[in-house]
Amino acid sequence: MRLLLTGCNGQVGFELQRSLAPLGEVIAIDHADCNLAEPDTICRIIRTVRPDIIVNPAAYTAVDKAESEPDLAAAVNAAAPGILGEEAAKLSAFVVHYSTDYVFDGTKTDAYTEDDDTNPQSVYGHTKRDGELALVQASPRHLILRTSWVVGAHGGNFAKTMLRLAAERDSLAVVADQWGAPTSAALLADITALLVRQQTGAPTSFPYGIYHCVASGETNWCDYARYVIGAAINAGKPLRAAPKSIQAIATADYPTPAKRPANSRLDTRKFQKTFGLELPHWQGGLDHILQQIL
């Protein structure tokens, strides 16, 4: 089996190289190998590799920058998944793609289900939603995993930013009215490998579609930062800021170019029931990552 993996140097892509390796030949590419903003390049690589599986964690993820680069964000996040799907359909290949909580507006009081209407509030969210639609239309053999607040040992993320700032400053101010679940890149990669194995074993009966896949539990950015900094101090890392010096602020106090959803909680009951997988609490995955980076 031949697997084409995009974005291999990103947080999830890095972990996917490990998790997918036992399943077959993995052709791992990154931006230097394939610029997803260039349709001809995408087509050429797929037609050359002729993969059985395409796994696409690559995306334009600079949420605020996307507000000033909408065309580039649309090319990578909206158009490219459709092209991947079109080329995959010609080969009867299976496409795994990752999406985001930003497809929702964040105003719902409960966790979002897959049946809830999307209503993105940012360029990033719009382009990711459009990418979902493009892939669904292009190829019936697709699996779209919506996730949130991805964190990994490799690459940049919120946890590493908080550790850096806590080493430089005596106190921090972090938004406390946005809620979600930090989700380990390694968890997403391991789940992907399990689902790819299921699909290759029974491609005609596999439950294709869109699923919410995040760690269980919930927190806000401020408490998340306090948890990370507390764990680092307990591990002996010298930091200037302590958990008690992390000030909780409102989103309105920290304006950004892109609007963030206040509620990023995703309901995973459909995913867990369909695939028989229990999703672990976010603290466990984060603890494992902190053990690697501290």
Summarised one tens digit per residue, pLDDT across range 228-254 is 999 999 999 999 999 999 999 999 999
> What is the signed CA dihedral for 188, 152, 232, 247, rounded to 10 degrees?
-90
Q: How far apart are CA 130 and CA 204, in angstroms?
A: 26
Contact 81, 42 (CB under 8 A): no
Q: What confidence category does residue 278 fall into, taking pLDDT thresholds of 50, 70 and 90?
A: very high
Residue 201 maps to a domain: yes
Burial of 237 (0-12, 13-18, 19+ CB in 10 A): middle
Q: Which of 138, 141, 154 is nearest to 188 (CA)?
A: 154
Residue 175 maps to a domain: no
Residue 146, phi then psi, degrees to nearest 5: -85, 130
pLDDT-above-90 percentage for the chain: 100
Averaged pLDDT, 191-196: 98
Whole-prediction pTM: 0.96
- Per-residue pLDDT, 41: 96
Residue 248 maps to a domain: no
- Per-residue pLDDT, 129: 98
For 1, the token pair is 């089996």
Contact 147, 249 (CB under 8 A): no
Residue 192 maps to a domain: yes
Residue 199 maps to a domain: yes
Residue 127 maps to a domain: yes
> Number of structural domains, the chain?
1
Q: Which domain holds residue 149?
A: 2-157+181-218+265-282
**CB pairs under 8 A, 24+ apart, for 86-89?**
86/138, 86/139, 87/42, 87/43, 87/46, 87/47, 88/46, 88/51, 88/54, 88/138, 88/139, 88/141, 89/138, 89/139, 89/140, 89/141
- Mark whether 60 is an active-site residue: no
Q: How far apart are CA 185 and CA 170, in angstroms?
A: 30
Q: How far apart are CA 59 and CA 154, in angstroms?
A: 16
Among candidate residues 124, 211, 224, 227, the one labeled active-site is 124
Averaged pLDDT, 4-23: 97
Unique residue bearing structure tokens 């294709």:
208
The contacts of residue 115 (CB under 8 Å, 6+ apart) are none
Q: What is the CATH number of the domain that holds 121?
A: 3.40.50.720
Residue 109 maps to a domain: yes
Q: How far apart are CA 19 and CA 187, in angstroms?
A: 10
- Per-residue pLDDT, 134: 98
**For the segment 143-168, what is each residue's pLDDT rounded down to a tens digit?**
999 999 999 999 999 999 999 999 99
Q: How far apart are CA 99 and CA 51, in angstroms?
A: 22
Q: How far apart are CA 149 and CA 194, in angstroms?
A: 21
Buried b or exposed e, range 25-38, using 16+ CB within 10 angstroms: ebbbbbeeebbbbe
Residue 103 maps to a domain: yes
For 22, the token pair is 């036992």
